[in-house]
Each structure stands twice: as C-alpha cells, then as structure tokens.
Amino acid sequence: MKRRGGDRPGPRYEERLAAFAGRELSAPTPAQDPVNQPMIRHWTEAMGDTNPVYTDAGAARATGRGGVVAPASMVQAWTMRGYAATVSPRPGRSGFDELVDLLDEGGYTSVVATDSEFTFLRELEPGDHVCVQETVESISAEKKTGLGPGRFVTTLKSYRDQHGGIVATQRWRTLRFRPVGTPSDAGAQARTPSEAGPVPATVPVSARRPRPAVNHDNAFFFEGARRHRLLIQRCAGCRELRHPPGPCCPRCNSLEWDTVEASGRGRVYSFVVNHHPRHPAFDFPLVVAVVELAEGTRLITNLTGVVPEDVAVDMPVVLDWLDADPDLTLPVFRPAPTEAP
C-alpha cells in the first residue's frame, strides 16, 4: 500500500474503509487448550472469586449443574495466545493487519479501547474447546475527540464451542485516533468513572501489600524510600536520568551510575481508576497514576488525598510517603497545594 506525502490518505479512502464492514478480521482460531480446571483455579484466585461452582464439583452439582463450570467472563482468556504471541507472531497477514495499515494511512496511528460488551449464552465446562472469530461491524466517520480526531472501530468476536454453537459474543470498540499536540499530549489515557468515595490519605494495613521484586539493580530505590528519599538513577557517563532502574544506560551503554534525589514535584501523566480485582491490602477505588517528575522521569504510583473524579491529566502533584508496613515504604503523590499569589 503506497503512502503519499505526510498523513494524506490515498485515493478512495472512505470507500476502502467502508469496505471493511462485515469483513472477517481473523479466521476462526481455536484455543490452545481445552477448558480446564487449573486455568479456572488460577483465574478465580487472581480475581478473588470464591464461588465454589468453579472449583468444587459437589457444590456445582448442588446448584443443578453437571459439575464445575468456568467463569463466564473468562471466555476471552481461553483463546489468548499469551507469551507465544510476543515471540512467534502468526505467519502471513490477517485482515486485522490490513485494517491497521489502512487506519495508519489515514493518520489514525494511536488507539484507545472505549468499551466492551459481552453476551453469554451458555456456561463452559472442562473439556469444552473454544474458538474465536472476529468480524468488523462498523467504522465510524471521523469524530472530534479529546484525544484528537478519530474513528470508532466496532468489531464482534464470536466464541464458539467444539460443536460450532455460539457460547458468547463480545462487541469490542476502540477509538483509532490521530494524536494532537506535543508527544506528551499523545499518551492515551484510560479513565474509568469512579463509583465510590475518596481515596484515603493513608491506607490502613489490613493485609500486606504484594512485595516488589527487589534486585541488585533496583534495591537503591526501595532503600531510599525507606529513608523517605525518592532517588532517580543517573548515568555516570552521559548524566541521563532513567527509571525504572536498570544496569545499563540505554543512551550511551555505560554500566556506571549514581543517583540524584528527586525534588518531589511532578504532574499526572496518565492514570486509571482500579476497581477490580480487590486485593485486601488496597482501598478501592484505587487511583493508579503515571507521574512525570519535574526531573523528567516517570514512575507508576498511587495518588492519595484526592477523589478519583478530581484527578486530571497534567494535574500538579507532590511527593508523599506511604509506610505500608515495617518492611515497605512507597512513594505516593497527592495534589500540589495551590500556590499563594
């Protein structure tokens, strides 16, 4: 497909986009494994779903089922390729690849998921073998959005069992958009409306937070945090700051480094409001943010002392410390006090 100068799409662009309606994006693809108890167990543990119909055959039979069933919302998990997808892409080009190329040609190079709507028709049981197929329902005309001009692409995934019967459908909508402004404006933010009250300033410890994976490269960061000092790794060769920590400078390849202490000022670069799964060590809704420090590096953190509705991209924030338990202190951020005139 030939690209013309800049972002100008080729001839008959609208027609070529419209031709995708009704088209199959991926041929029916069978799951790598049949529905099975170990995967169900991992899923329910991760989700904190203790309903025994997923793990205990007797309890499932007591509800009139033939035995254990898989959680309905797990349907997508059966057909995911997982790690293999990143190391051995499928050979050849799919309809999906062609659609992405066509959207790129129109300058719609960024993507953000907007909504997903499932319909479940029957419960899956161990031994069932699912297969998924995806078709384009519609591609909207160009719309103005806060992220930039874009088109909503709606597809329908159909999940079928080994007999060809549909067990679930998923209507999946993404916004493919042309990013506006500076590169930092281009970062897509995912935002979920919040349903409940404020995130408290201190998180009561009802359970221990998951431990960070501390290693030789990042130990300085967590040791600094214990002393309430936010440290940023700095290359000793070219002085570039970097985060997350690593052994080698991506700019000059130097293995030598030291640290600088951050001023503690920053801005919200992006954020999500997490509702589920509900780990007992956290309070929900939980604001998980990428904060860009005044020094330029970014880190993933939590925001405190602010209700999710009041969080905004670019909001100035200041460093605070969360002493989660005697062994774990983490940097968190709260809204910066409004400066006096």
Task: Report the interface residues with Zn ion, using CB under 5 A.
Answer: 235, 237-238, 240, 249, 251-252, 254
Closest CA to 103 of 174, 198, 27, 192: 174
CA gap 269, 267 in Å, rounded: 6
Token pair recorded at residue 293: 């420090």
For residue 32, CA distances in Å to 70, 78, 131, 165 come to: 16, 7, 9, 18
Q: Decide whether 212 or 247 has the Cβ nearer to Zn ion.
A: 247
Q: How far is the CB of 257 from Zn ion (least distance, A)?
A: 8
Task: Give least dist CB 255 to Zn ion, A.
Answer: 10
Helix (H) or strand (E) holding 134: strand 131-139
Q: Give the residue with the Cβ less far from Zn ion, 188 or 248.
A: 248
Contact partners, residue 27, CB within 8 Å, separation at least 6: 94, 133
* Least Å from the CB of residue 212 to Zn ion: 25
Q: Which is nearer to Zn ion, 96 or 220 (CB)?
A: 220
Nearer to Zn ion, 241 or 272 (CB): 241
At 82, list the tokens.
Answer: 């997982």
User: Which is nearer to Zn ion, 98 or 240 (by Cβ)?
Assistant: 240
Q: How far is the CB of 294 from Zn ion (least distance, A)?
A: 20
Provide the minimum distance between the beta carbon of 232 and Zn ion in the complex, in angstroms, as a whole number: 13
Q: Hey, how many other C-beta atoms are within 10 angstroms of the C-beta on 259?
A: 16
Closer CB to Zn ion, residue 237 or residue 305? 237
Are 320 and 326 in contact, with CB atoms under 8 Å apart?
A: no
Q: What is the nearest approach in angstroms of Zn ion to the Cβ of residue 213?
A: 24
Pick the closest to residue 140 from 115, 171, 177, 107 (CA basis): 177
